[in-house]
Each structure stands twice: as C-alpha cells, then as structure tokens.
Amino acid sequence: MVFSSLVFLFMFLIGTLTIYYIAPKCMKNAVILMCSLIFYAWGEPSYIIVMLISTLIDYCAGLVIWKWGANKVIRRIALIVSIVMNLTLLGLFKYSGFVASNINAVAGDNVLNINDAFFFGIKDLPLNTLPIGISFFTFQSMSYTIDMYRGEIEVQKNPISFAAFVTLFPQLVAGPIVRYSDISKELNNRTINLDKIYDGVVRFITGMGKKVLIANSVGALWDTVLADVQAGTPVSAATAWLGVIAYTLQIYFDFSGYSDMAIGLGKMMGFNFPENFNYPYLSKSVSEFWRRWHITLGAWFRSYVYIPLGGNRKGMGRTILNLGIVWLLTGIWHGADWTFIIWGVLYGVFIILERLFLGKVLEKLPGAISWIYTILLVMFGWVLFASPNLETAGAYFGSMFGSSGILFDSTTVYLLINYGAVLVLGIFAATDAWKVIVTNTEKKVPVLVHVLMPICKTAVFVLSTAYLVDASYNPFLYFNF
C-alpha cells in the first residue's frame, strides 16, 4: 500500500486516524502498532515475521544492555547479537541473490540456488524477494540498540511502545530513517492539537502533489526513453538528455514527496520526524548535495559508521579510507547490483577529491560553474542508479553522447510537446524560488497568503486525487530499497 493511492487515502488513513484520535492516551501506541502491521501486511503478509524478528531482537538486546549496565562483556555481547542478527536478515533477503548470481557467474555453473528457501519455519519463502522497507526498518531498529549501548537514550521497557516505534507506518517503508532518540519523548508523551494536525495535512498534501503531479508525470517520460535504449532503438542525444532530466526530477519528487507525506502523517499523529531533503539540486558540490539529499541516511552512516571508524580525527589517510568505506556501504545499501556499488564508489571518489583539493577549487569558481559540475555528476549518477544493469547504463551513456549519430529527432519534439510544461514546473519546484516568493509575499501581504494557501493546497489535493482515479502509472521508486 502506498500513500499516493485511493485505498490508503480514503480507507486506511481515515479509518486509522479515526480510531487513533478516539483511543485513550494509554492505547494510542497499541493502535499505531495494530494499524502499522495491517499497513505492512497489505502488500506482504509473509514478511511481517522478518520485521517482528528484528523488533524482538533489538527490544531484548536493549533490555539486556539496561539490566546488565555494569557488565561490559554482557552489554557488548547483546550489541553484537543485535547488529549481527539485523545485518544477517538484511543480507539474506537483500543480497543473497546478488552474491549467489556472482558466484554462479564465476563458477560457470548453477552452484547456488536460493529459491524456495526454508527460513525461520516458513516454507517457500524466497530469500531473493525483497521485503518492503527492510533497509529502513533494520537500520532504524538497530540504531536503538547502538544508542542504548552508548548510554545516549533510556531503555524502552514497554514492548508495545517499542514495536510501535519500529513499525510506525508513516515512515516504515521509505523513511525518513527515524532513530529512537528522535521520537523517544513523543513515543511516551506526545501532544496532538488542531494546529499540528493542520500542519500535517498541509505537509502531506504538498508531498502528494510532488509525487503524483510531478514525479509520476515525468517518470513516464523516463520510462519511455529507457525502454527504447533497452530495446536497442537508436535514441538521439537530445532525447537521452531529456530522459535523464526527467529521471532526475522523478526520483527527487518521488522520494522527497513521500518523505513530506511521512512527515505530515507524523505530525497528524503527534510526532516530529526529521527532515530528509533540503533543495539538493541547488548544491554547488557533491559533498553539499549529500548534506541535502536523504539527510537521515547520511546522518545514520555518519553516526554509526564514519565516526566510529575514526572520522577525520586520525589523519588524512584514515579519513579517505573511512569515506571510502562509507560510500561503498551507501551504494550497497541502496541495492544489490553492481550499478549501485559503482554509483556509491563514484560519489565516494568525488567526495574524497573534494576533501583533498577540489572543494577549495569549487569555492573559488563562479557559483554557476560549481552548480553545473555538481548537477552533471548527479545526473550521470542517476543513469547508473536507474539502469537495470551495467550494459543498459553503458548504452544510455552512449546515447547521451551521440552514439546513435542523431542529435535530435521527431521523438525529441514529441516529448518536449507532451512533457515540456511539467519539466519546467519540476525544475522550478526543485528550487527554493516558490518558498522565497511565499515568504516575501507573506511579509508584505500576509492576508493574501493566508487566504490563497488553503485554496492552493485544496486544488493540489483535488487534482492529485483526480489523477489517481484515472491513472494506472503510480510507481514508488524507494519501495525497492
């Protein structure tokens, strides 16, 4: 079930919020848990057990760390069990197929076959089928145990409250990655009022508009061009560039829109989730881009990998090694394929170069040149990220640089006519121009903003709903992670 679906909007969400609001305070976490399990089971009932195993492991590990606070050995064993078990679950389901296929490719025979595995007592549960959101909820749950071991948070003794934290449906399958420390106080005692609900509704509608009206529209353009490349159809350079521009906009509005919807849902339920995006396409370096893109993932790797490895405290050589490890893991986290690994390594290389000398060069260059450098690298990265394999990525890069021998053709004109308006809208909305306009207008004519804003949000909701009623194309890219 995705947020941008009629079933979620007019059945699940209305029913959940109705029960949630009328439930007594002591029962609200139980309502969250029940509804979150229903939400997850809607698409993948078999895999609830994977999420519950992760939840149980970390709940018990937290209790052990708290109970045996003076015994360093037992505390460390509990932490190791939590990390190993969570990473084992993630590895089995997300990476076993990738590992097996590479071993089989090297061995030249079908040495490993992971299909129809018997796992945790569930027969015919294929390990190469990815449970939705496993990368998010394992990282989220594991962060609780690590923070407990560090002494940064208090233990959660209530199993219902802890399970509600892990399964919290607004951010369960696609983030933001909410650490226990982010919402520990609200999990036990949160305030729900009309102002917060209104802010949540507005934020949700904003995200819905991003996802449905922009991401879905430009996504169709990208799919068209990618399909031609995969089919071996000659694609003009201009068409290929249009396609990657479309995907650059699609993945931003798809993911940031979903994050906005999650943050909005959290507000409706009394939670304040961390922000996940900050206009990343305005960045003037790759390092800045990753401070603005998927902020909660970057914070997770910084807190639990980069800093524990030594960060930048042990000399430049060690800093480079630590950055390399983090970006290799970032690529692997996103997907079990060489395209993702190379994508992560590519970013790691440029971030290391910026740390060594390139960052200082970029600071001295005109802002426009630094921005062009950044956005081109990001777009090249998205080609790798979005391609199903390295062969397709190579073919797509070739089309971008004229391998077809055609600069532009009638397909380019057709795509511009059909998608030009939404591409312009997407480019405008990916900047902070709208925010600046609204802020300046509110300072000069506050009444105008207060009157028009609800009208605009209502129009976005109506248009998005109308789109969903008639649409068969409504993907969500980060369900794959």
Q: Which residues carry out catalysis?
A: 334
Q: Are 293 and 191 in contact (CB under 8 A)?
A: no
Residue 241 DSSP code: H
The string of DSSP codes covering 243-275 is HHHHHHHHHHHHHHHHHHHHHHHHHHTT--PPP
φ, ψ at 276 (rounded to 5°):
-120, -15
Q: How far apart are CA 94 and CA 429, in angstroms?
A: 34
Q: How far apart are CA 94 and CA 140, in angstroms?
A: 16
Distance from CA of residue 197 to its chain's centroid? 24
The string of DSSP codes covering 88-148 is HHHIIIIIHHHHHHHHHHHHTS-----TT--BTTBTT--TTSPPTTHHHHHHHHHHHHHHH
Q: Of how many residues is the chain composed?
A: 481
What count of other Cβ atoms lies within 10 Å of the Cβ of residue 174? 26
Q: How far is CA 90 from CA 2, 50, 84, 224, 333, in A?
A: 22, 9, 10, 33, 9
What count of other Cβ atoms lies within 10 Å of the Cβ of residue 287? 21
Residue 213 DSSP code: I
Q: How far is CA 45 from CA 3, 9, 34, 59, 64, in A?
A: 18, 20, 13, 22, 30
Q: Are 180 and 165 in contact (CB under 8 A)?
A: yes
Token duo for residue 341: 């690994």
φ, ψ at 119 (rounded to 5°):
-130, 125
Evaluated on CA atoms 223, 228, 229, 235, the torsion sign reads negative
What Rg value do the Cα atoms of the chain yield, rounded? Answer: 23
Q: Are 47 and 119 in contact (CB under 8 A)?
A: no
